[in-house]
Chains A and B, each alone.
Chain A
Amino acid sequence: MKTVTGHRLFWPAAVLVVMLLANVVVTPGFLSVQVRGGHLYGSLIDILLFGAPLILISIGMTGVIATGGIDLSVGAVVAISGALACYMISGQDDQGSVPGVLVAVGLALGLSAVLGLWNGLLVARAGIQPIIATLILMVAGRGVAQLITSGKNINVNSPPYKLIGGGYLLTVPFAVLVAAVVVALAGLAVRRTALGMLLEAIGGNAEASRLVGIRSRRLIVLAYTFCAVCAGIAGLMISSNISTADGNNAGLWMELDAILAVVIGGTALTGGRFTLAGTVLGALVIQTLSTTIYTTGVPPQTTLVFKAVVVTAVCLIQSPAFRAKVFRRRPGAPPPDPVASPGPADVEVRA
């Protein structure tokens, strides 16, 4: 029992389960998944589908945060990528042509990678604090997206493009499959190679990493680039889902959600130890929260208060210090030690 609750992912997972159960109480059919119109249909599928972009961005963000950085520009990259892809497609004579869509997608992702590279270079080469370095792109990038769309919505009518964010493959939403593949690849890259350890070393102690000969700069640039590419894919999904590029609003404030997902998943913002599985759980928790708000009919003006309460509860329940202080208040029990109390990281079984 102890080992189960001690696992780093136990609490985020528990929170997710509790939230789903709470939904079932309010909306009895919440967990039911049926096949309708040749694809899976149900609230759970919605959560996965709408959660897919957030999962992707959060995965990218995890890498950046592991190096001790942060990326505020993901929302802007989401907007740019979707805008560019839709702009290209809308300009084609045959919007349904697969090669045309592939070119558009390729260009959008290429541009995203360039933007990530830019962020990475500002941080690793120019030595600008990550929050400011990426703030520049956060502000300017939204402008670039609007420049591409001229501030309007660009509609596309392209079945192949629609597949990315709104289509289904073998009854499963394509976006979910994409997210799953990216997560799996990232997981492999991080734990089957030495990438994860080296990123954690950089985030844990930058000077020691330098003295040990880690190519910190390259890895940092890599992390930002990967993050931006993830955001780019998410941008494609979001615009594809509604067949519209909205340069003004796509991805707005998504950076906050992504960071929140990472942190709920159990990765510290100070860098170092990270967990991708936790991040995925965190993103699902956030998406479930939104869906819960919509389905249970929380009045719009109290939505934020509701969110605040849930986020606070989630974090408190995850905090070992809180549990120790509140739940195990035996008389004379030692308060947790204030300095080096082993965080969840210490008992982690590596994902």
Chain B
Amino acid sequence: MPGAVLEMAGVSKGFPGVRALEGVDLRLYPGEIHALMGENGAGKSTLIKVLTGVHQPDAGEVRLGGTPVSVTGPQHAQALGISTVYQEVNLCPNLTVAENVFIGREPARAGMIRWREIRRRAGELLTRLHVDVDPGALLGSCSLAVQQLVAIVRAVDVSAKVLVLDEPTSSLDRDEVEQLFAVMRRLRDDGVAVLFVSHFLDQVYDVSDRMTVLRNGRLVGEFRTAELSRADLVGHMTGRALSTLEQLHVTGESARVQAEPVLRARGVGRKGAIEPFDLEIHPGEVVGLAGLLGSGRTEAARLMFGADAPDSGTVTLSGDPVALRSPRAAIGRGVAFCPENRKSEGLVEDLTVGENIVLALQAAAGWLRPLSQSRRQELVGRYIEALRISPADPDMPARNLSGGNQQKVLLARWLITRPKLLILDEPTRGIDVGAKAEIQKLVVSLAGDGVAVLFVSAELEEVLRISHKIEVLRDRRLIAEVANTAEITPEGVLEIIANGTTS
């Protein structure tokens, strides 16, 4: 085996109050895809940020091709041949897609940027990855998945020795993931070392050659993927045995149509976002929205919450017609909504974990009626524990939490409002296997308690696992509604999407 292109040895990194990394080693060889595994908050992103010089390690060193280097920042890392996609999409929303792909390394002649060249080449790159988006569109107007793809396109286009991908697939659906894997394999065959983070075990087993597992900031070990069983991997990651994830499967027969629907939408639509559609959700029912990227799931969900105002149709909530012109109207009637883009639409990074959790409840109560200190502590404490938010410190600023834990904070925020209808847009994005099972269980048990849930996820299996009813979208149109019976499979749903017919 040739020598490692990149080695990290004994890396430690502490933040005030947290030891994020403790003597971690990592070796990357050319021509391999290496998975970095661990629960939420295990230190994966931190390790990557140390690797690319965003954080300076407290101890330990980074060796590139055998020589120790001190990486001063992402720019330096790029110059050293390390190309990175960070966990949260880190691009500029105010620039166009094409520019985001090329900024910092624009083709120029005599110091003058060649715009036409940029647009042409960006178009080519995007098509090669099968991303169909206008390169001249503002990035901020694209869905999160597209943004993630753009970030990947950008990173992949740099001919680098090391390609680092921190949860690149969290918003992508099967097709996109396949495209990405194809690119990763091609790069691997060209001798690039790829470091890959994902919470999807299937993906990891599908694509990676070796893996490094972290737990609580410490190195558990380095394994060949082929030699490690899933159960063992989960055991290594969590320090516990694999939970009863597989047993969870609800079926459609328990559909509770007898009661008055919590939500009834008739011909609700919004120009340019989603065509008018009908939808009913009953108490205790989990309705899944399935579709490919950009099929309009997020838009449909947002309309049900009043996050965007619909321009046609009527909505009745618990039997009363309501004008959903603002989120407040929806919240007042017991609707809750976890947006998919937690960074820009969910979290208030300045506030503490505790404050973020009580924010929705407090907003509903108004500023004059503050939650009492004790009630607040009790609520926050309960949900930090229930969702295993770590670190379990309610006074920690939310920005310091790992991505997965931030997602849990947002869930907690809405759960404490005891909603009648809970709209979850990609609630398990970036959440580790254990926690994902917890959340799925939670959703099922909420439904058991009579809460209606509208569940959006890019992961079809997940949708199938917990919903009673599945709404299938394509090209921003609701094309089918299917009861989730035992014979429905992910492939079957894909079939519906492809043919556009109800089976």
Contact residues of A with B, CB < 8 Å?
192-195, 197-198, 200-201, 203-205, 207-215, 219, 272-273, 334-335, 337-340, 342, 345-347
Which among A205, A211, A335 is the interface contact of B349 at CB below 8 angstroms? Answer: A205
Instruction: Give me 12 A-to-B residue pairs in the complex whose CB atoms sit less than 8 angstroms apart, sorted by A's number.
Output: A194-B366, A194-B367, A197-B362, A200-B348, A200-B350, A201-B355, A204-B350, A211-B327, A212-B327, A212-B363, A213-B331, A213-B363
Residues of B within 8 A of A211 (CB): 305, 307, 327, 337, 339, 345-346
Q: Is the CB of A194 within 8 A of B56?
A: no
List 12 other contacts, CB 8 Å, given A197-B362, A198-B362, A205-B344.
A193-B367, A194-B365, A194-B370, A197-B359, A201-B355, A209-B348, A211-B305, A211-B339, A211-B346, A215-B328, A334-B56, A334-B58
Cα A208 to Cα B359 with chains together (Å): 10
Contact residues of B with A, CB < 8 Å?
15-16, 49, 54-58, 73, 305, 307, 326-328, 331-332, 337, 339, 344-351, 355, 359-360, 362-371, 397, 399-400, 413
Residues of A within 8 A of B350 (CB): 200, 203-205, 272-273, 345
CB distance from A334 to the nearest CB of B (A): 4
Residues of A within 8 A of B58 (CB): 334
CB distance from B17 to the nearest CB of A (A): 9
Q: Is the CB of B351 within 8 A of A201?
A: yes
Q: Is the CB of B364 within 8 A of A205?
A: no
CB distance from B141 to the nearest CB of A (A): 14
Q: Is the CB of A212 within 8 A of B360?
A: yes
Residues of B within 8 A of A340 (CB): 399-400
Contacts A201-B351, A219-B367, A337-B56; A208 near B345 (Cβ below 8 A): yes
Q: Is the CB of B307 within 8 A of A208?
A: no
Residues of B within 8 A of A192 (CB): 370
Q: Is the CB of B346 within 8 A of A208?
A: yes
Q: Is the CB of B367 within 8 A of A198?
A: yes
Residues of A within 8 A of B73 (CB): 338
Residues of A within 8 A of B328 (CB): 213, 215
CB distance from B233 to the nearest CB of A (A): 30
Q: Is the CB of B367 within 8 A of A195?
A: yes
Which among B348, B364, B369, B399 is the interface contact of A208 at CB below 8 angstroms? Answer: B348
Residues of A within 8 A of B349 (CB): 204-205
Residues of A within 8 A of B366 (CB): 194, 215
Q: Is the CB of A201 within 8 A of B327?
A: no
CB distance from B349 to the nearest CB of A (A): 7
Cα A345 to Cα B348 with chains together (Å): 14
Contacts A213-B363, A214-B363, A342-B16; A205 near B400 (Cβ below 8 A): no
Which among B370, B397, B413 is the interface contact of A212 at CB below 8 angstroms? Answer: B413
Q: Which 3 A-B pairs have the closest CB atoms?
A: A272-B350, A204-B350, A213-B331
Q: Is the CB of A342 within 8 A of B327?
A: no
Q: Is the CB of A342 within 8 A of B359?
A: no
Residues of A within 8 A of B337 (CB): 211
Which among B339, B363, B369, B397 is the interface contact of A345 at CB below 8 angstroms? Answer: B397
Q: Is the CB of B367 within 8 A of A204?
A: no
Residues of B within 8 A of A205 (CB): 344, 347-350
Residues of A within 8 A of B56 (CB): 334-335, 337
Closest chain B residue to A336, Cβ basis: B56
Residues of B within 8 A of A219 (CB): 367
Q: Is the CB of A346 within 8 A of B348?
A: no
Closest chain A residue to B365, Cβ basis: A194
Residues of A within 8 A of B57 (CB): 334
Closest chain A residue to B55, Cβ basis: A337
Q: Is the CB of A194 within 8 A of B348?
A: no
Q: Is the CB of A338 within 8 A of B367?
A: no
Cα A61 to Cα B384 with chains together (Å): 35
CB distance from A271 to the nearest CB of B (A): 8
CB distance from B500 to the nearest CB of A (A): 32
Contacts A197-B351, A337-B56, A345-B397; A213 near B364 (Cβ below 8 A): yes
CB distance from B235 to the nearest CB of A (A): 32
Residues of B within 8 A of A197 (CB): 351, 355, 359, 362
Residues of B within 8 A of A334 (CB): 56-58
Q: Is the CB of B327 within 8 A of A213?
A: yes
Q: Is the CB of A339 within 8 A of B360?
A: no
Residues of B within 8 A of A214 (CB): 359, 363
CB distance from B446 to the nearest CB of A (A): 19
Q: Is the CB of B368 within 8 A of A347?
A: no
Closest chain B residue to A219, Cβ basis: B367
Closest chain A residue to B417, Cβ basis: A213
Cα A346 to Cα B351 with chains together (Å): 9
CB distance from A84 to the nearest CB of B (A): 30
Contacts A194-B370, A272-B350; A342 near B362 (Cβ below 8 A): no
CB distance from A68 to the nearest CB of B (A): 11
Cα A215 to Cα B370 with chains together (Å): 15
Closest chain A residue to B344, Cβ basis: A207
Q: Is the CB of A210 within 8 A of B367?
A: no
Residues of A within 8 A of B399 (CB): 340
Q: Is the CB of A342 within 8 A of B348?
A: no
Residues of A within 8 A of B355 (CB): 197, 200-201
Residues of B within 8 A of A203 (CB): 350
Cα A201 to Cα B360 with chains together (Å): 11
Which among A204, A207, A337, A347 is the interface contact of B351 at CB below 8 angstroms? Answer: A204
